[in-house]
Amino acid sequence: MSTGDFSTSLNYCVPLPGYDPKEPLVKYVYNPPAGVPKQNFELQPFPVIIRDLRNANGVTDIEQLVSLDVHGFQFVKNEAKEKDFVDEGKLKDGYYKEVEQLVLDRVPGAKKVVIFDHTLRRLEKEPTARQATSNDRGPIVNPFPTRTHTHKLNPITSQLRVHIDQTLNAVYNRVRRHLAPEDAERLLSSKTRVRLINVWRPIQNTVAHNPLALADWRSVDGNNDLLETRRVLEGALIPEPNGGLYNIRHNTEHRWYYLSDQTPEEVTFIQCCDSKVVEEGAAGAVGAPHTSFNDTRSPPEAPRRQSIEVRCLVFDSE
């Protein structure tokens, strides 16, 4: 498979003229009213070098390479009992519990974990040689009735962008949505540290196409690079008040990394928000900008990427 540093381009967010930096960026998820643009930003590719962390600086243990609190992401060795990820009962009753225990065991300070959803990416079948492109990371596929998506067998490179999944406001809204009201109020009123951590795992195969790239938080300008973006949902006239993610503005200082030949036994923790850092100004990482990227060195005959990411609210108190 492909290894070593790689020069490529990543899609960053560029606000359109007239953007008010005091307001969030906006994206309509349906056709907007006449005369209103679907979004007030665009994605533009910028050149980057993505460094391979495999055996970087002679470090062979992937768990010693990076950490959540410093870099915003972390690698953990763990073999899942679940292998197929096609049965709803096994996933939610089995794999979710595996992930919960993994986070409790491996995230410093974690006392309570609430999993609220997941994204599964795979192609329904491997493309033929003529169909295959190195861009195929697999569309979002979830066979479970709670989250159903239908996609054609097409590359989706246009959707790849540098981002962080949730703002602090969105995380607090998740707490209120997914915990019992009394638990949510108790944890939020006590200013308990809450983090949103995505647990990302390749499934079935070693990653050959579209590896996951992550930026070292220490290279991010938190005051300038994070562009809060909110959606306008169908039937609404204004952006959702309690949602939002960060699209990322390009910065030549960003330092990008990936783990070559990542296997299903090598899990990535991706921090997407840390209330202690955002609200209290504590030292640490808000999160890790991330995206997958088109590795043109990948052998066309290698299996397409399959992966699952499970989203976890992580509390420092029970």
Return the pLDDT at 32: 86
Q: How far is CA 77 from CA 69, 102, 257, in A?
A: 18, 10, 18
pLDDT of residue 231: 87
User: In this predicted model, what pLDDT tens digit does every residue of 299-310 receive, in sequence order?
Assistant: 999 999 999 999
Fill in the DSSP letter of residue 88.
Answer: H
Q: What is the pLDDT of residue 157?
A: 38
DSSP letter string over 164-199? ES--HHHHHHHHHHHS-HHHHHHHHHTT--EEEEEE
Please report which confidence band the pLDDT of residue 227 belongs to, taking 50, 70 and 90 as the band edges: very high
Mean per-residue pLDDT, 64-76: 97
Mean pLDDT, the chain, integer:
88
Strand duo 212-215 + 290-292: pairing: antiparallel
Give the pLDDT confidence score for residue 242 in this predicted structure.
66
The SS3 assignment for 161 reads: coil
pLDDT surpassing 60 at residue 282: yes
Secondary structure E strands in the chain: 6-15, 25-28, 41-52, 73-77, 112-121, 163-164, 194-202, 212-215, 226-232, 245-248, 256-258, 266-274, 290-292, 307-315
Residues 6+ apart with CB under 8 A from 56: 65
Task: Say yes or no to pLDDT of 150 above 70.
Answer: no
Give phi and psi for 27, each to the nearest 5. Answer: -135, 125
CB 96 within 8 A of CB 310: yes
Distance CA 308, CA 160 (A): 16
In angstroms, what is the C-alpha Rg of the chain?
A: 19
Residue 13 has pLDDT above 80, yes or no: yes
Residues 6+ apart with CB under 8 A from 238: 232
How much is the average pLDDT of 229-233?
Answer: 87
Confidence of residue 139 (pLDDT cuts 50, 70, 90): very low
CA 39 to centroid of chain Cα atoms: 21
The whole-number pLDDT of residue 31 equals 84
Query: What is the DSSP code string of 235-290?
Result: T-SS--TT--EEEE---TT--EEE-TT--TTEEEEEEEEEHHHHHH--SS-S---E
Q: How far apart are CA 191 and CA 172, in angstroms?
A: 11
**How far apart are the C-alpha atoms of 240 and 26, rounded to whole Å?**
10
Render pLDDT for 53-69 as a digit per residue (tens, 0 to 9): 999 989 999 999 999 99
- What is the arithmetic mean of pLDDT over 82-91? 88
How high is the pLDDT of residue 236?
66
* CA 48/CA 162 separation, integer angstroms: 12
pLDDT(298) > 50: yes
pLDDT band, residue 205 (cuts 50/70/90): very high
